[in-house]
Amino acid sequence: MIKTTSFEIAYHQFLQPNGEPSGGLPPLARDTDTLHALYHNMVFTRLYDERAVNMQRTGQIGTFASSLGQEAIGAGVGHAMQPDDIIAPSFRESGALFFRGFRVRDLLLYWGGDERGMSNPDVGDDFPICVPISTHCTHAAGAAFAVKYRNEPRVVVCLIGDGGTSKGDFYEAINLAGVWNLPLVVVINNNQWAISVPRSMQTKTETLAQKAIAAGIPGIQIDGNDPIAVRHHVAEAIENARHGNGPTLIEAISYRLCHHTTADDATRYRSDKELEAHRQYDPVPRLRTYMTQQGIWSEEQETQLQTDCKTAIEQEVQHYLASEPQPPESMFDSLYATLPGELESQRRSLMGKE
């Protein structure tokens, strides 16, 4: 006797690489404000990344991870979230973090080696940047439980990379989200590389979205360089979760047009040819072309946007550069709610008082 159970994974795209619609468009494709917001965020992020990479070169910050080429994911995710939702970011989603209220100065502080980068109270209870890959997936699930427990209409969005999907934390978290029906959306930035390890060496699966099947939750694959697809499908998943329909896994296919970080030299392991071939999928010109064709974007607006972003970023950079380091003893001061006695003396000795 043989019975079978079937599963499907769909791939979605609205805008082709050349900016032409690839079929029916969702309502947001006609919503100028949304399109402008997405575009603004992408341009802003790209300029911020460029500036930050330069700052690293001149020693003004430390190792930095750009999101060049992947801006549609941060923008789409950040814009799809409601203010009260909660983000559990990895480290490559500056665009999403800007939507959440993180400022350039916060991120520069963080990459500049200063804990205050994650302390901005305006970002509410959003999680800080998470460096150990995939470990924040379970935090996101725990947070999703917390909001569900309190009957709050909030959703948690967790961002990870393609490499991150190989780690047990990821599976454990989506499995729990499935069985507990948690309001969680996990978005994979499949930029096709985990430092030097290509997507094909991470896993044998045809898609990363199908990993959802192991958790019994919906999984979809989207063109992660199509800001409309990201915004639309992430919002749909978020609203699903908000209405009690449980978690979704979204694989957003993109490409890392930059080095892994400023500490990396991708030319060691990646051909120029491959890199160049992917430039045509760049999300920024894609949305710009679409908006131009829709008659909602002009050269003047572009120029203005570039100027505005640069000015805003520059102001933030100056803020950052003017920041005094924290006093050395700050390493003791947020460690516990109340410093245990045994650390008082270590603190004093650090301050040269003993």
Ligand X SMILES: Cc1ncc(C[n+]2csc(CCOP(=O)(O)OP(=O)(O)O)c2C)c(N)n1
Catalytic residues: 256, 260, 269
Nearer to a second copy, 128 or 163 (CB): 163
Q: Which range touches other proteins (CB under 8 A), out of 47-55, 77-85, 241-249, 346-354?
A: 346-354
Residue 21: phi, psi to the nearest 5? -60, 145
Q: Which range touches other proteins (CB under 8 A), out of 18-26, 96-104, 245-253, 333-341?
A: 333-341
The amino acid occupying position 224 is G
- Cβ atoms of 95 and 135 closer than 8 Å: no
Q: Is residue 135 involved in binding a second copy (CB under 8 A)? A: no
Structure tokens at 185: 């959306």
Which of 67, 40, 60, 73 lies closest to 108 in space, CA to CA? 60
Q: Is residue 157 involved in binding other proteins (CB under 8 A)? A: no
Cα 226 to Cα 211: distance, rounded to the nearest angstrom = 22
Cα 159 to Cα 187: distance, rounded to the nearest angstrom = 5
As measured in angstroms, the least distance from the Cβ of 98 to ligand X is 17
- Cβ atoms of 257 and 66 closer than 8 Å: no
Touching other proteins, residues 158-217 (CB under 8 A) = 163-164, 166-169, 172-173, 175-176, 179, 194-197, 201-203
Nearer to other proteins, 306 or 346 (CB): 346
Residues sharing a CB contact under 8 Å with residue 70, sequence separation 6 or more, in sequence order: 92, 189, 191, 224, 225, 254, 255, 256, 257, 283
Q: Is residue 166 involved in binding a second copy (CB under 8 A)? A: yes
Cα 63 to Cα 76: distance, rounded to the nearest angstrom = 26
Contacted entry of ligand X, Mg ion, other proteins, none for residue 335, CB cut-off 5 to 8 Å set by kind: other proteins
As measured in angstroms, the least distance from the Cβ of 215 to a second copy is 7
Among 31, 50, 152, 172, binds a second copy (CB under 8 A): 172
In 3-state terms, what secondary structure has residue 159?
A: strand
Among 85, 93, 169, 251, binds a second copy (CB under 8 A): 169
Q: Is residue 133 involved in binding ligand X (CB under 6 A)? A: yes
Residues that bind ligand X (CB under 6 A): 92, 131-133, 161-164, 189, 191, 193-195, 256, 260
